[in-house]
């Protein structure tokens, strides 16, 4: 892949990964608009690695608490750290199972502009509804494992590009009464094992293929996506402390509508 392709895709990934607007959908659409060949799931996952480090650094206190929770659970103790790591694991299990069985379909059939347009628009409206009807009475400390499981089941829908992993999990969390900032925080915490697992799987596939030339591209993409993701996370969390998801909903409606017009009218995208 050409260097400027990697730079553009990595920047798009970093900016959109944790915003509720679908990073995978943006990556696919970017290639379509610029006339580039589909970068494929492998490059999608490569740029996810950079965002993984970004979220772990931004939420390092939570990551440390989960690490402590593993140790406490191993010695038969309980407490908030154990509840947090249990909830993260419970919320991750559904997407791991679904991803295992749907991997081939995700790579080949779920990458059309029409589908991304509908999911971007439709789930954007659902996010708006959740943000307005969901009560703001619960924090991340109040999450029990059944709540985490529901959020995890919602995350399965994000296997379809345009849905947005962060968007659908924040939507589910808002329906369940979590405050906006805590909904975003839990969404990003459960992204850690999901992204890590997908990255390990992709790395194994690359190792088997013996494509060492791809390794340098991965490093460049990961570095840029890391930097842009860290900035995007900080800005979004600051925004949600004083406002709602409306700005993201408006963006999704505009983008989804534009993609549907492009897909069904045959119009030139630029």
32-58: pLDDT as tens digits:
788 877 665 567 677 878 899 999 999
Q: Which two tokens stand for residue 209?
A: 């293929």
- DSSP single-letter state for residue 141: G
In a domain, 200, yes or no: yes
Q: Does the pLDDT value for residue 119 go beyond 90? A: yes
Domains in the chain: how many in total? 1
- pTM as predicted: 0.89
Domain that holds residue 139: 3-265
Contact 134, 175 (CB under 8 A): yes
At 3 the pLDDT is 80
Q: Is 270 part of any domain? A: no
Is the distance from CB of 13 to CB of 161 less than 8 angstroms? no
Residue 186 lies in a domain: yes
3-state secondary structure of 144: coil
The string of pLDDT tens digits covering residues 190-203 is 999 988 887 777 66
What is the Cα–Cα distance from 226 to 41, expressed in whole angstroms? Answer: 18
Where do we find the tokens 């307005």?
132
* Entry field: residues in the chain: 270
Cβ-contact 58, 233 below 8 angstroms? yes
Is residue 254 in some structural domain? Answer: yes
Residue 118 domain-assigned? yes
Number of H helices, E strands in the chain: 12, 0
Residue with the larger pLDDT of the pair 220 and 244: 244
Q: Place 176 in a pLDDT band, splitting at 50, 70 and 90.
A: very high
Tokens 């480090």 sit at which residue?
53
The DSSP letter of residue 242 is: T
């Amino acid at each position: 892949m050409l260097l400027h392709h990697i730079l553009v895709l990595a920047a798009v990934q970093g900016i959109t990964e944790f915003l509720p607007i679908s990073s995978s959908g943006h990556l696919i659409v970017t290639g379509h608009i610029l006339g580039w060949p589909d970068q494929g799931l492998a490059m999608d996952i490569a740029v996810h690695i950079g965002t993984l480090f970004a979220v772990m650094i931004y939420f390092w206190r939570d990551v440390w608490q989960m690490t402590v929770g593993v140790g406490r659970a191993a010695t038969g103790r309980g407490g908030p750290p154990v509840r947090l790591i249990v909830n993260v694991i419970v919320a991750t299990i559904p997407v791991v199972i679904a991803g295992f069985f749907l991997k081939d379909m995700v790579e080949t059939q779920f990458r059309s502009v029409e589908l991304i347009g509908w999911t971007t628009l439709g789930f954007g409206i659902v996010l708006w509804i959740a943000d307005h009807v969901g009560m703001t009475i619960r924090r991340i400390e109040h999450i029990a494992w059944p709540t985490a499981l529901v959020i995890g089941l919602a995350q399965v829908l994000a296997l379809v590009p345009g849905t947005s992993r962060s968007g659908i999990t924040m939507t589910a969390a808002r329906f369940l009464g979590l405050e906006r900032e805590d909904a975003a925080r839990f969404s990003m915490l459960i992204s850690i094992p999901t992204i890590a697992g997908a990255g390990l799987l992709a790395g194994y596939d690359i190792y088997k293929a013996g494509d060492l030339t791809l390794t340098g591209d991965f490093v460049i993409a990961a570095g840029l996506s890391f930097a842009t993701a860290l900035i995007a996370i900080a800005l979004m969390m600051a925004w949600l402390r004083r406002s709602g998801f409306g700005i993201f909903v408006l963006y999704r409606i505009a983008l989804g509508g534009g993609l549907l017009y492009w897909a069904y009218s045959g119009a030139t995208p630029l």
